[in-house]
Amino acid sequence: MKKRYSHRGHYIECANDSYTSLVGGRTVSGSMLGVRQCIDWWCDTHIFRSPAEFERQSFKSTQSRTSENYKGIQIMSDEKQPGLWYIFVRGQLLKGPLPKIKQYIDHHSLSR
């Protein structure tokens, strides 16, 4: 049994976990997300891109960021600048090496 979905005026058919659709006169197949992104791209730009091109994108997980809890304050590492850490103090960003931030917290008696 085939399931049919509609997305932005295009029909997407599902058979055995494979999604297919007709986009710009071409038949595309792949994951649901890839086919939907292909349709979105076609509707917005009228340029054809296959679903495989969208599936190659890799996104960094937010779990790669490390953090440390020091005296009730969460100190987070900066992904773009290794060795630097940051905290928010009264709405202001404080950034620097971990020992200096801990020293700042001790000196200014910050705690939560």
pLDDT tens column, 12-37: 999 888 899 999 899 999 888 889 99
Q: Is the pLDDT of residue 64 over 70?
A: no
Three-class SS of the chain: CCEEEEECCEEEEEECCEEEEEECCEEEEECHHHHHHHHHHHHHHCCCCCHHHHHCCCCCCHHHCCEEEECCEEEEECCCCCCCEEEEECCEEEEECHHHHHHHHHHCCCCC
Confidence of residue 87 (pLDDT cuts 50, 70, 90): very high
Q: In the predicted model, what is the mean pLDDT of residues 65-93? A: 88
pTM for the model: 0.50
Strand, coil or helix: 17: coil
| Residue ranges of E strands in 17-82 | 18-23, 26-30, 67-70, 73-77
Q: What is the pLDDT of residue 110?
A: 66
